[in-house]
Structure 1
Amino acid sequence: MAKGGSKKSLRGRAGRMQGGRGSGRATHGNVRLWGRHAVEAALMNPARQHRKLWATREGVASLGGELPADFPVEYADVADLARLVARDAPHQGLVLECEPLGDIHLEDVLSGDPSRPIVVLDQVTDPHNVGAIMRSAVAFGSAAMVTQDRHAPPEGGVLGKAASGALETLPWVRVVNLARALEQIAEAGYWRIGLAGEAELDFAAALPSGPLAIVLGAEGEGLRHNIAAHCDALARLPMSGEIESLNVSNAAAIALYAAAMRQA
């Protein structure tokens, strides 16, 4: 919600973003989102097709705008909502059922603002981590997130809650072949840095002055060999010897901050 402005309608347009070549969603059927930030962002997103909102009256009152009179809302108590979501999920009195977002072309992202970094995830499958990475990516001005269509979590409540609204604003490109996508990213003039704990080069020293793609691998396994081979440089975050590694979402946040500071 914009600060200081008048209340806006929370209803999105019926249209969806157009699909793209080499990109496909793992999500099929309707998506169920929960939590105030995730639900409010989805309601404000004109690219979403909304189906139904289950809510407590307090949950609806917590939204920063007014729902249209004809919006499909079913009021329920907290216990009823708990049966609609994952176990112990913090729904905050709001559960929204909607359609998944449409596919996005990698080409469209690459033709955008080259000063904004692209985040590339290699088989990061935990929706908590992916959602947190999306949140950091939006916070530090990333252009998009790129994953495989497989070995990545689908849209859903856990990811949406962790993303805290970023699911609705960060372009998410799913590709069949991640190595080929990295080739396209390089052809567009981006310098590809893969984060690897065993690398000798510090991340700050590896940063280019021009377009940047930050490539992160799954926690524990790291980057696959073929994906690392498609990076222009491998770099590590400087850490004390007392901690061997960071959670992938924490590493992404630090790398994105360092990238943002290049132009500060």
Structure 2
Amino acid sequence: MDKTSGEFIVGRHPIAEAIKAGREINKIWINEKGKGLDPDLLKVIKEQKINFQFVPKQKIDQLAGSTTHQGMVASVAAHRYATVDELFNKARAVDEQPFFILLDGLEDPHNLGSVLRTADAVGAHGVIVGKNRAVGLTSTVAKASTGAIEHVPVARVTNLARTMEDLKSKGVWIVGTDADQKQSFQEITADVPICIVIGNEGKGMSRLVRDKCDYLVSIPMRGHVTSLNASVAAALLMYEVYRHRLQIGD
């Protein structure tokens, strides 16, 4: 029998209805043998660019918690996603220059939760994440954010590079990080609409996202490791923007 369980929707019919209703879906797992797969449903999944993966039946059994899943399980968002316009509206409501964080391929839910927690602490107006190959708003993220997920809107977009172009057209300056840059993160210009970009935990920013940044800054390091944890790097940059804005306010 089809069913919905926690942050998972189990069964092709409930999944099809969830897609039809516009429910935010993080990922769909499909039996690699294709048993019972509706080709029309797969077509819709592809057309809407929903992240999906073919896996062994045992994996679906594990996710569903049973063997009665019709060969499909979907992970759904634990919270509603915002639109990018809603992020701008939040900044406008408090009469502040927009302050966003864009995450390029962040995969660890604990890192996303930490980013949300810091974003709330510094008064950022929202976080932007990609739709594919990135963690969504799961219950683990909600727990790691220690409640910040209720206060920091997260917009989920299909194309990060296009979204960056849209942000720039609205006057937002986009800042990425690069260890080889001479300009330190302490030289960020914060009295303008700004969006900080944080890359994937292992690969960093993708080439396309990097190329769309207005400028890059480095985080000076003197130890033996070559990079910081993504959420730690994000926290340093967010607090630098916050510090600059406090000084400007004074």
Report the TM-score range of the alignment, normalised by the length of the smaller protein: 0.5 to 0.7
Deviation at 1:241, TM superposition (A): 4.1
1:262 alignment counterpart: 244
1:90 alignment counterpart: none
2:232 alignment counterpart: 250
2:103 alignment counterpart: 121
2:154 alignment counterpart: 172
Q: Is 2:188 the partner of 1:206?
A: yes
CA contact (8 A) 2:88 2:98 kept: no
Structure 1 residue runs without a partner (length 5+): 1-22, 30-97
SS at match of 2:128: strand
Deviation at 1:160, TM superposition (A): 1.4
Structure 2 Cα separation of the partners of residues 105 and 205 of structure 1:
30
Q: Structure 2 vs 1, CA of residues 125 and 262 (structure 1 numbering), >3 Å: closer, same or farther?
A: same
Residues 88-99 of structure 1 mapped to structure 2, 5 A cutoff? none
CA contact (8 A) 1:26 1:150 kept: no
Q: Which amino acid aligns with 2:173?
A: W
Structure 1 Cα separation of the partners of residues 26 and 105 of structure 2:
16
Q: Is 2:116 the partner of 1:138?
A: no
Structure 2 Cα separation of the partners of residues 138 and 116 of structure 1:
14
Tell me which of 185, 196, 205 is aligned to 2:178: 196
Structure 1 Cα separation of the partners of residues 121 and 201 of structure 2:
22
Deviation at 1:108, TM superposition (A): 2.5
Tell me which of 169, 172, 184 is aligned to 2:166: 184
2:203 alignment counterpart: 221
Structure 1 Cα separation of the partners of residues 213 and 23 of structure 2:
24
Identical positions, percent: 29
Deviation at 1:24, TM superposition (A): 7.6
Structure 2 Cα separation of the partners of residues 99 and 245 of structure 1:
30
Deviation at 1:157, TM superposition (A): 2.5
SS at match of 2:205: coil
Deviation at 1:203, TM superposition (A): 1.2
Deviation at 1:116, TM superposition (A): 4.3
Q: Is 2:84 the partner of 1:106?
A: yes
Quote the RMSD (CA, aligned, Å).
2.4
Q: Structure 2 vs 1, CA of residues 168 and 27 (structure 1 numbering), >3 Å: closer, same or farther?
A: farther
Deviation at 1:211, TM superposition (A): 1.1
Structure 2-normalised TM-score? Answer: 0.64
Deviation per residue, 1:112-152 (Å, 9 max, x gap): 42424100000001101111111111111110000111222
CA contact (8 A) 1:193 1:214 kept: yes
Tell me which of 140, 157, 162 is aligned to 2:144: 162
* Structure with more helix by fraction: 2
Q: Which amino acid aligns with 1:125?
A: E
Q: Which amino acid aligns with 2:226?
A: E
Structure 1-normalised TM-score? Answer: 0.61
Deviation per residue, 1:213-235 (Å, 9 max, x gap): 00010122111110001100011
Q: Which amino acid aligns with 2:86?
A: D
Deviation at 1:99, TM superposition (A): 7.5
Deviation per residue, 1:225-264 (Å, 9 max, x gap): 1000110001111222434211000011111110000122
Structure 2 Cα separation of the partners of residues 186 and 168 of structure 1:
27
Structure 1 Cα separation of the partners of residues 161 and 153 of structure 2:
19
Structure 2 Cα separation of the partners of residues 196 and 99 of structure 1:
31
Structure 1 Cα separation of the partners of residues 165 and 187 of structure 2:
23
Deviation per residue, 1:9-51 (Å, 9 max, x gap): xxxxxxxxxxxxxx9833489xxxxxxxxxxxxxxxxxxxxxx
Tell me which of 114, 124, 130 is aligned to 1:148: 130
CA contact (8 A) 1:193 1:215 kept: yes
Structure 2 residue runs without a partner (length 5+): 1-21, 29-75
Q: Structure 2 vs 1, CA of residues 183 and 165 (structure 1 numbering), >3 Å: closer, same or farther?
A: same
Deviation at 1:204, TM superposition (A): 1.7
